[in-house]
Amino acid sequence: MTRPLKLAIIGGGPSGFYLASRLLSLFPESYADSLRIHIFDRLWAPHGLVRYGVAPDHPEVKNCTHKFDSAVTDSRLKFFGNVDITSIGDNTSLSLSSLKKNYTHLVFATGCTEPNMHLQLPRDKGIISALDIVHWYTRHPSNPAPPPLHSASHVSIIGMGNVSLDVARMLLCPPSLLEKYDVPSHVLDALRKSQVKHVSVIGRRGPLEAAFTTKELREMMNLPDVALRPLEESVSNVQARTRQQSRTLELLKKGSRAAFGTTLRTWSLDFYRNPLGVTLPNSESPSYSLSLEHTTVDPITRRVPVTSTLPTSLIVTAMGFHAESSSTAPYAQWYDLNQKHIKTLPGGRVSTTNLDSDEPKIYASGWAATGAKGVLASTMMDAYSVAEAILEDWTNLTPSSNPHSEPVSSSPWDAPPPEIMKSLSSPDSEITTYKDWLAIDAEEVRRASTEGKERERMDWKEAKRFLYDKGLRVAEEDRS
């Protein structure tokens, strides 16, 4: 008899939930009660990048959460938020070794949470990452400082991916068009007071190499009362190699819906520009001065020895993301320093541990394993393949010579680790469950409905107070 499969998924984003839902659907019906899945996330709310990375005006991308809500109705799946898992564990986190004692299988679905920064652009109050802005307008628990839009007339974004255009669109879009979406009230207030007049999107290569999609570019072109500065003919007059490149070039040649010179707000795509450095504001100049090298992808000349300077109020780096490289990350021993994500084998397998051993089988899924690339559909397919690998490995386990209902010794077979159980038993527990989330989710939607908005987000302090007020928690000061 093969022992039960007890799986811990570290990371409650789309990869973790897709994997869990797939495994629940694939698990043999005759062994249905031999499966338990626990998802842990260090944030209080589930859904990771879907909640804290998707642009507010792209609500359709968030529809996958309905699938996740459905998966959690299966009693074999549980979610635990506000649980930070590290390689060593301390007073504020749970150790990886504790998980190993309590589960037969582990999956890292921790994503890529760190921004890639440009080596020539040091962090400063006016040099920030796109992730800071995204986390600001999605009210991420990291609570980054708001960008200084009240004093910035010109914004330079380094990088030409979808995140770059998301940020540019949020900064240029008339706030009146964003009011119906999932945009926190304090963000809307800041956007209404914004002094941004121009956004430069800067990339070191040309239009054929730009990473943004045609859909994102079209949205920028159609922004009302915002115009694109026309490209030089030599930039857009190149030969496309794919259908998407052809569509991109057509859009670039056509230009924005609003004619340049007729609007108060503008933007530009500054191709073939590579930052060499920056001069910080001083008593003589209140602006940053961005030094740019002019480049080319011509196979013969490669680079042309021309530089220019660009005065700008705010510099935003949008050059992609990588997995956390800290020595305390739970996957630290398997982290690939060159690739900046977890080393994996086919099927997302991280460890070559003998399948017959008592060591938990370890896997990685999504961006934690592949790096920050692809869209939700590719994340889903990767998660499905890892789920299938887990099932295959479990099916191929040698039957235990001493079968028992508890595959691990330090907690009941279907329960989380003792540390989690102890915390959950306390009225003051910081750990959230999916039941908590569903109540908070409904309240966020209710609060916004009176204003015709999609949602009004709460931070954890507000959410916890709401749970207390609803009687789902009892605050220490309220207990007799």
Question: What residues does 279 pair with on adjacent strands?
Answer: 289
Binding residues for FAD: 15, 49, 85, 367
Look at residue 479 and tell me whether its pLDDT is greater than 60: no
| Element holding 465 (H helix, E strand) | helix 460-469
Q: What is the pLDDT at residue 16?
A: 98
Question: What count of residues does the chain have?
Answer: 480
| Mean pLDDT computed over every residue of the chain | 91
Question: What residues does 364 pair with on adjacent strands?
Answer: 108
Q: 427 burial class (0-12, 13-18, 19+ CB within 10 angstroms)?
A: exposed
> Per mean pLDDT, which range of 19-33, 81-95, 388-402 is the poorest?
388-402
Look at residue 401 and tell me whether its pLDDT is greater than 50: no
Look at residue 465 and tell me whether its pLDDT is greater than 90: yes
User: Would 5-113+322-432 and 117-319 be classified into the same CATH topology?
Assistant: no
Ordered by start, the domain boundaries in the chain are: 5-113+322-432, 117-319
Other Cβ atoms less than 10 A from the Cβ of 433: the count is 17
pLDDT band at 207 (very low <50, low <70, confident <90, very high): very high
Q: What is the DSSP string of 433-461?
A: -HHHHHHHHHHHHHHHHTTT-S-----HH
Architecture of the domain made up of 5-113+322-432: 3-Layer(aba) Sandwich (3.40)
Strand, helix or coil for residue 231:
coil
The phi, psi pair for 285, rounded to 5°, reads -135, 120
3-state helix, strand, coil in the chain (%, to 5): 35, 20, 45
Q: 139 burial class (0-12, 13-18, 19+ CB within 10 angstroms)?
A: buried
The phi, psi pair for 424, rounded to 5°, reads -65, -30
Other Cβ atoms less than 10 A from the Cβ of 327: the count is 10
Look at residue 435 and tell me whether its pLDDT is greater than 90: yes
Q: Say which CATH topology domain 117-319 has.
A: FAD/NAD(P)-binding domain (3.50.50)
Binding residues for NADP(+): 204-205, 216, 374
> Per mean pLDDT, which range of 243-247, 396-400, 438-442 is the poorest?
396-400
What's the mean pLDDT in 72-84? Answer: 97
Binding residues: 15, 49, 85, 204-205, 216, 367, 374
pTM score of the predicted model: 0.93
pLDDT band at 477 (very low <50, low <70, confident <90, very high): very low
Strand 198-202 to 265-270 pairing? parallel
| Element holding 308 (H helix, E strand) | strand 303-312
| pLDDT tens-digit series, residues 33-54 | 999 999 999 999 999 999 999 9
Which tokens belong to 159?
Answer: 């990088």
E-strand spans in 5-71? 5-10, 35-40
| pLDDT tens-digit series, residues 308-354 | 999 999 999 999 999 999 999 999 999 999 999 999 999 999 976 55
Look at residue 404 and tell me whether its pLDDT is greater than 80: no
Q: Using alpha carbons, select from 272, 318, 337 the residue that is nearest to residue 118.
A: 318
Residues 185/191/192/194 CA torsion (nearest 10 deg): 150
Cα-only R_g, the chain: 25
Alpha-carbon distance 473 to 480, whole Å?
Answer: 14
Exposure on the CB side of residue 93, measured as CA atoms within 13 A = 17
| Element holding 274 (H helix, E strand) | strand 273-279
Task: Report yes or no: 60 and 66 within 8 Å, Cβ to Cβ.
Answer: no
Q: What is the pLDDT at residue 480?
A: 38
CA distances from 348 to 166, 335, 356 (A): 30, 14, 19
Exposure on the CB side of residue 306, measured as CA atoms within 13 A = 8
Look at residue 247 and tell me whether its pLDDT is greater than 90: yes
Alpha-carbon distance 267 to 230, whole Å?
Answer: 10
Q: What is the DSSP string of 189-206?
A: HHHHT----EEEEE-SS-
Q: Using alpha carbons, select from 115, 140, 112 the residue that is nearest to residue 329.
A: 112
